[in-house]
């Protein structure tokens, strides 16, 4: 039997050959999602999440359970973050999620950063204002449009991320630390798949009513 490393290398070669022509898909998170789709069915589950336990439920019930549990997880994480985040330079998870993309991108427009976080414009603008006031973000003139400004991570912002890293690590551990690596791989892949779906809706159809969104994405939904 091939070693795990050899299996991963072969899987990555297959992934690269399938995604090399698709712009923006040849990256680590896309590979995780691909790996999950290819090996998820053979991964080991703990007894609590064994799929046999849920086969008796209808798809409608499973969808309702998923929506309720995903929402509940967000509330748990929010409650945990309130215990310690206020003691760090970064006062909230929202502020962290607005700073962290700017480690990867040299600069972003405000609308791009808000879009990444899935917030309403007013909410995202308020978060950015707080971070500018703390000097964690800096503004610069957009070279492509002198009337607009772009934002980037300041040196103070980088330091704030570093100083908050221990608390953020504790938050990530308490959030999902009981899952095995195999379960985390599956979870990240599935969540990324959902994120891409909802990000497209938020970008292109956020002003539509729920019924109209359902109609516009009917072919993708398994209902």
Report pLDDT digits (tens) over 26-39. 666 666 666 656 65
Q: In the chain, which residues fall in CATH 1.10.10.10? A: 58-186
Parallel/antiparallel/unpaired status of strands 108-109 and 137-142: unpaired
- Give the lowest-confidence range in 17-21, 155-159, 213-217: 17-21
User: What distance in Å separates the CA atoms of residue 196 and residue 213, rounded to the nearest whole number?
Assistant: 15
Q: Residue 97's beta-bridge partner residues?
A: none
* pLDDT attached to residue 42: 44
User: What distance in Å separates the CA atoms of residue 78 and residue 13, rounded to the nearest whole number?
Assistant: 39
User: What distance in Å separates the CA atoms of residue 193 and residue 200, rounded to the nearest whole number?
Assistant: 11
Longest dimension (CA), the chain: 61
In the predicted model, what is the mean pLDDT of the chain? 80
Q: Does the pLDDT of residue 123 top 90, yes or no?
A: yes
Over residues 160-214, the pLDDT tens digits come to: 999 888 888 888 888 888 888 888 888 888 888 888 888 888 777 767 888 888 8
The domain 58-186 is placed in CATH, from the list 2.60.120.10, 1.10.10.10, 2.40.50.140, 1.10.1040.20, at: 1.10.10.10
User: What distance in Å separates the CA atoms of residue 107 and residue 140, rounded to the nearest whole number?
Assistant: 9
Contact between 23 and 16 under an 8 Å Cβ cutoff? The reply is no
User: What distance in Å separates the CA atoms of residue 159 and residue 156, rounded to the nearest whole number?
Assistant: 5
Task: Please report how many Cα atoms fall inside a 13 Å half-sphere around the Cα of residue 58, on the Cβ side.
Answer: 4
What does each C-alpha distance from 200 to 10, 114, 133, 165, 194 come to in angstroms?
31, 14, 31, 30, 10
Prediction pTM value: 0.63
């Amino acid at each position: 039997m091939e070693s795990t490393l050899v299996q991963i290398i072969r899987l990555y070669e297959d992934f690269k050959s399938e995604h090399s022509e698709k712009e923006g898909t040849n990256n680590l998170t896309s590979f995780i999602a691909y790996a999950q789709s290819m090996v998820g069915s053979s991964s080991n589950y703990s007894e609590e999440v064994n799929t046999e336990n849920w086969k008796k439920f209808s798809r409608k019930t499973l969808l309702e359970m998923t929506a309720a549990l995903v929402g509940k997880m967000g509330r748990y994480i929010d409650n945990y973050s309130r215990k310690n985040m206020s003691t760090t330079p970064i006062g909230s998870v929202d502020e962290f999620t607005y700073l962290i993309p700017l480690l990867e991108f040299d600069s972003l427009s405000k609308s791009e950063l808000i879009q990444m976080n899935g917030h309403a414009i007013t909410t995202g603008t308020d978060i950015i204002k707080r971070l500018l006031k703390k000097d964690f973000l800096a503004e610069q003139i957009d070279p492509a449009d002198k009337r607009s400004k772009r934002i980037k991570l300041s040196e103070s912002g980088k330091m704030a991320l570093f100083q908050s890293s221990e608390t953020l690590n504790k938050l990530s551990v308490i959030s999902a630390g009981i899952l095995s690596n195999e379960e985390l791989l599956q979870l990240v892949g599935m969540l990324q798949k959902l994120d891409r779906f909802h990000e497209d809706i938020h970008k292109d159809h956020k002003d539509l009513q729920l019924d109209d969104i359902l109609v516009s994405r009917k072919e993708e939904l398994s209902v």
